[in-house]
Structure 1
Amino acid sequence: MHRRTETPPALFALAQSQGGLVSVAQHREHGLTDASVRGLVRRREWHRPTSGVLDLRTPPPAGLSVFDHARRRAAWLALLAYGPDAISVGACALVLHGVEGAPLRLRAEAALPRASDRTSRHGIALRQFDDGLETVMIDGRRVASIPWALAQAVPELPRSRGLAVLDSALYRKKLDAVGLERAHDLARGRRGVATRHDLWELADSRSESPFESSTRLECVEEGIPPDVLQLPLVDADGREISRGDAGWRKRDGRWLVAELDGREVHDTPEAVFRDRTRQNLWVSTGAVDVLRFTPRDAGSIAPAIRRALRR
């Protein structure tokens, strides 16, 4: 009978900060032998996603959703797989910067200063190092700066995701208007950017979630852009009682407000109660019509708003 191998608490904490992953060098630094790790993998307590990387199957840290944990895992998988010289780039870099809007299934990718003689493996993309690439240090690893990461990611992402990461970078104050323009300049000439130039013009710091960004883009592309984002709603005494995610002025002077309920924001009982109370306050003003949408409504939101505006 084999003696059970205990994971050192410090190694467990390190893995949690790296999307559940550690490198071979890191487990050795924390006192685990290669033989004990092989036993953990054999018993399926740990998993080896690629050579030199171990998945400890840790739960997400407190306050981090399972979706964001999975995104961080992809970013760290690429960094650990290609060693200490690897640089996080593109959408993976944006995730490490704390920018929202990256796809749920994020492709692991990294760059090396001299990657021409290396190849991608196990679905982990190895990119050619960009001349002049600017990096910052995050958790001890080199990560493409926000302007460079946006320039790399937006041309390759679906349009809705591209706008979402631009909006999020502005909303979270990761860059300003000058930085946004620089990111656009860095993106010029990249494959895919020809159909993304307008996203830089549409980017808006008032969009507070990826769902708000994708809905706004859907409406813009259908010819009914919102008149206002984060519409202040006031009561009879002129006091602000809430804000609507997006608003359209109707022909009769009333407002049509779209409430965009992203799953990670509105799915607790407390949040549902607050949303219902807020909607009741809006309707009680007599000047507002409210439509509520969730991500499942994507693709049908603009037609619903168009119908409501015609009524």
Structure 2
Amino acid sequence: MPRRVDLAPVLALAAAQEGLVGADQCARLGVARAVLARRAASGAWLRIATGVYDTSPRSARDHDARRRRAAWAGLLALGPGAVAVGSCALALLGVAGLPPTIRPEATLGESARRPRGLVVPRQFDDGMTCVRVGGRLVASPEWALAQAVPELPRRNGLAVLDSVLAQRMLTPRGLRRAHDLARGRRGVARTHDLWGLADAGGESPLESFARLECVDAGLPPDRLQLEVRDDDGTFVGRGDLAWWLGDGRWLVAELDGRDVHGSPEAVYADRVRQNAMLSTGRVVLLRFTSADLPRLAATIGRELARHRRRPAPAPAPVTATT
């Protein structure tokens, strides 16, 4: 009868790695490969790449966790010296706006090697700087953006750029350096405008997606995060995207994301805030969800035409008061 093996240290380590563990890590903790093979054969664990096991394959994971899991898969498949790059680095850094699914990518600082299962080794960028996340090496925000943005769908590209500014991971100057690092990469030509559009006022991926829809339709908003005040100057709310209508009035688009606006408390707070904005008489309010994105720009365009939109005033105090 096989000796009982204490898996608690392995499972504790896996919990910090989105449920994944490497065979080399198990060996250092005294767990032999034969034990890993038995766990996989029983269905308790799942081998997802050479030497990489999922210790909780049936666990439900949200999008953020699945993206981090992909990043850990790449790191563990290539071993202790691996560096997470591109979208995987952004996922581990906590950048928002990535697609729901990303492929595991890492580098070893040497010529690209053959894929190991689902993991794609990447060429190491000469001069790439790194930071540590969870004890592992990850491309720095500047380098991770330079690697990822040229390969991402345009709307996700803008969303991650907005996110690093909103979270103050980079300054506008740092973002320009990242853009310079991206120049010459395959796919970067279709993203050059995104680097200039990036704005810390894009506080959620949905807002970034909506803004790009409007920009591409020739209807860029005049303000992001417009502060609305009543006649006494009291702050009553903030609008996600805003267009100046003239005569002291604004068209405001509110983007209702499930994560931020989904709870009953959030719904109530949104209603109170939006009613207060409307009561000023200076706001025309439209609400959208992710399902509305394909029609959002057309809706905005019709509303602007209906109100005979005028040119926006020069930036001053960003309020909706006259």
> Quick check: TM above 0.5?
yes
Q: Which residue of 2 aligns with 1:205?
A: 200
Secondary structure of 2:151's counterpart equals coil
Identity of aligned residues (%): 53
Trace 1:129-168 onto structure 2 (pairs within 5 A). Answer: 129-168=124-163
1:47: how far off?
0.8
1:28: how far off?
3.1
Determine the C-alpha separation between the residues in 2 that align with 1:226 and 1:53.
47
1:257: how far off?
0.9
1:30: how far off?
3.5
Determine the C-alpha separation between the residues in 1 that align with 2:301 and 2:247.
15
Maintained 8 Å contact 1:5/1:40: no
Determine the C-alpha separation between the residues in 1 that align with 2:63 and 2:4.
31
1:236: how far off?
2.6
1:125: how far off?
1.2
Secondary structure of 2:267's counterpart equals helix
Maintained 8 Å contact 2:103/2:119: yes
Determine the C-alpha separation between the residues in 1 that align with 2:205 and 2:25.
35
For normalisation by structure 1, the TM-score amounts to 0.92
Q: 1:80-102: CA deviations, max 9, x gaps?
A: 00111211111111111111111
**Closer, same or farther: CA 200–36 of 1 in aligned 2, 3 Å:** same
Q: Which residue of 2 aligns with 1:82?
A: 78
Determine the C-alpha separation between the residues in 2 that align with 1:306 and 1:265.
26
Secondary structure of 1:19's counterpart equals coil
* Amino acid paired to 1:206: G
Q: Which runs of 4 or more aligned residues in structure 1 lie more than 6 Å from their structure 2 counterparts after TM superposition?
A: 1-6
Determine the C-alpha separation between the residues in 1 that align with 2:31 and 2:154.
45
**Closer, same or farther: CA 51–249 of 1 in aligned 2, 3 Å:** same
Please, which runs of 5 or more residues in structure 1 have no aligned partner?
none
Maintained 8 Å contact 2:71/2:104: yes
Please, which runs of 5 or more residues in structure 2 have no aligned partner?
307-322
1:43: how far off?
2.0
Q: Aligned residue pairs: how many? A: 305
Q: Which residue of 2 aligns with 1:32?
A: 31
For normalisation by structure 2, the TM-score amounts to 0.89
Determine the C-alpha separation between the residues in 2 that align with 1:78 and 1:171.
27
**Superposed CA RMSD:** 2.0
Determine the C-alpha separation between the residues in 2 that align with 1:4 and 1:281.
64
1:17: how far off?
2.1
Determine the C-alpha separation between the residues in 2 that align with 1:57 and 1:270.
33
**Closer, same or farther: CA 198–105 of 1 in aligned 2, 3 Å:** same
Secondary structure of 1:299's counterpart equals helix
Q: Which residue of 1 aligns with 2:105?
A: 109
Secondary structure of 1:71's counterpart equals helix
